[in-house]
Amino acid sequence: MYLHLGQNVVVAESSIIGIFDLDNTTGSLITRRFLSQAESSGDVISVSEELPKSFIVCSDKSKTTIYLSQLTSQTLLKRSESVRFE
């Protein structure tokens, strides 16, 4: 299945490692370093021009990508659950 992250971006649910709320997680120095390093290496993709509310860590066989989404982590979770049970 696929998860719609906002705008025209979808990712395979099997590639998702985690969905994180930006407000709750960026208080941690470790998370800020992780996001900073990912941005420096070009692994961060902003889904929207709007202020991001969540980030999604995805990995395929050879690369990890972080998506910044304007949708909340709760909204993304609900979308994920509704796709599974329809």
What are the DSSP E strand ranges found in 1-86? 2-6, 9-12, 16-21, 44-46, 54-59, 64-69
pLDDT surpassing 90 at residue 46 = yes
Tally of structural domains, the chain: 1
pLDDT surpassing 90 at residue 66 = yes
Q: How far apart are CA 82 and CA 48, in angstroms?
A: 23
pLDDT surpassing 80 at residue 27 = yes
pTM value is: 0.90
Instruction: List the domain range (segments joined by +) for residue 61.
Output: 2-85
* Type of residue numbered 77: L
Token pair of 57 as six digits: 């860590």
